[in-house]
Amino acid sequence: MDHAENFALGRWLLVLAYLTSVVGCVLGLACAVQARHAADPRRRLRWLVLAAVSIGGVGIWLMHFVAMLGFSTPGMPVRYDVFRTVLSALLAVAAVFVGLLVAGSQARIGWRLLLGGLITGLAVNVMHYTGMSALRVKGGFTYDTPLVVLSVVIAVVAATAALWFAIVLNRLVLRVAAGFVMAIAVTGMHYTGMAAVRMQMDMSAPDPSGTEVFSFLFPVFVLAAIAMAVPLTAVLMAPAVEAAPNAPVAEEKALSAAG
């Protein structure tokens, strides 16, 4: 049997994974906007850390974790290397932090946005494929290269678009829309990457070592709740930074004059 199922628990898991990503991305982008308006460098750094935890930890990693609850190799066990699973989360947060640090510059130069989108999009891929390296099955698996490349393109393009909506055009409605767009990038990349998996199952192989995913379900969701509660509280207590209706136009003219 050389196949795997991505929806062993039902298609509803896709919706749950996507909504999980939406929450993390919307909250993280709200923190990124606060960071761009912070005058104190240390305050800006704190906001960027909260944004990276929200997007990288919840919007990207937790979405992956939720989606992988539906992954199975029928009739055979699936296990995970906990160290690599944790490493994938840390890499996601770190990479998103760097991407936001670049894209969220006050200067808002075009190449910064593109570079930030590239880094943030690649963060999705780094997390996914590092997380997949933690997968242990009876046998092994490889990837279909064109689909892997497509997964990278999806993540980078959609992440760049999301950053443009949320950072360059500073409006609440666009910020929320950006969260939905970025969640499409994360979820689309995940399932495209999963479609690229080519399983080579071996019934005679020993059972894989590692931890069963449901055994660390509780601590993951406790940490995720904390990861959402802290930035959510900070955003709700922060002063509004909504731009005036003509602010984007005025800022664009100012940037054009400066150039």
Residue type, 191: Y
Rounded to two decimals, what is the model's pTM?
A: 0.84
Q: Single out the residue of 175, 151, 173 nearest to residue 163, CA to CA.
A: 175
Residue type, 91: L
Distance CA 57, CA 89 (A): 6
- Would you give per-residue pLDDT tens digits along the chain (259 residues)? 457 788 888 889 999 999 999 999 999 988 888 887 777 888 889 999 999 999 989 999 999 999 999 998 888 889 999 999 999 999 889 988 988 888 765 555 678 888 888 888 888 888 899 999 999 988 888 899 999 999 999 889 888 887 777 666 667 787 788 889 889 888 998 999 999 998 888 888 788 888 888 888 888 888 888 888 888 888 888 776 654 444 444 444 444 444 4
Q: DSSP secondary-structure letter at 215?
A: G
Q: How far is CA 92 from the centre of its chain?
A: 7
Distance CA 44, CA 242 (A): 17
Q: Single out the residue of 135, 139, 133, 142 nearest to residue 198, CA to CA.
A: 142
Distance CA 254, CA 249 (A): 9
